[in-house]
A = this chain, B = another copy of it.
C-alpha cells in the first residue's frame, strides 16, 4: 500500500489548474478515479468542463464556486461566496472519505484562503482527513506556509512572461 502524496501548485504564473488537469489525465491513464472540486470557478463555460465529459465516468469535475469574487461582473455579496465555499468544503470531505477516488484535486483552494472565503484551519482539517493512499492536490496562488509544510511536493509556478501584459486577451483552450 503506497502513501498518497500531498501536492501543491502555487505561484502567480500560469499553469497551476492546468497542471492539476494534466495530473488528472495522467492518473486516469492508470485506471484511477479522479475528482476535481473547484472553489472559484462556477457555472460559466470553460474547456475543462467539456473535457471532463470526455473522461466520464472516472473523472468527476465539480464547479463549486460562483465565479471570481469581486471581479468579472460579480455582483454577489461576499457572504454568499463564503456560504458556497463552506458547502464546497463539505463536498470535498465527502468525496475524500468515500475513498472512491485515487486523486482529489482542490482547485484554487489556496487562493480561496487568501481572499478569506475559507479559513486556513478548514484546509488543514481537510488535509488531515486524507485517506492514506489518496493523492491530494491543492492549487492556487498564495499557498500558506502551513500548507506547504504539510505537502510532499510543492511547485511554484513563477510568472516569467504573461500575454495579458502584452495586451493579448484570454484565449479559449488556454486560459479557460
Please report A residues at the B interface, Cβ cutoff 8 Å.
Answer: 2-3, 5, 7-11, 13-15, 17-32, 46-52, 54-55, 102-103, 135, 148, 151-163, 166, 168, 171-174, 176
Which 6 pairs of residues, A with B, have the shortest CB-CB distance? A29-B47, A21-B22, A22-B22, A27-B173, A29-B51, A29-B50
Closest to A7 in B: B174
The residue that A30 contacts in the complex, of B156, B159, B172, with Cβ under 8 A, is B172
**Which one of B25, B47, B157 contacts A157 once the chains associate, using CB atoms below 8 Å?**
B157
**From A15, which residue of chain B is reached at the shortest CB distance?**
B19
- The smallest C-beta distance from A31 to any residue of chain B, in angstroms, reads 8
Q: Residue A152 contacts which of B26, B29, B163 (CB distance < 8 angstroms)?
A: B163
* CB–CB B158/A158 < 8 A: yes
A55 to B168, CA, bound (A): 29
A25-B55, A29-B173 known; 18 new pairs, CB 8 Å cut-off, are A5-B168, A5-B174, A15-B15, A15-B19, A19-B19, A19-B157, A21-B26, A22-B25, A23-B174, A24-B25, A25-B47, A28-B51, A28-B54, A29-B54, A32-B173, A152-B166, A154-B161, A155-B160
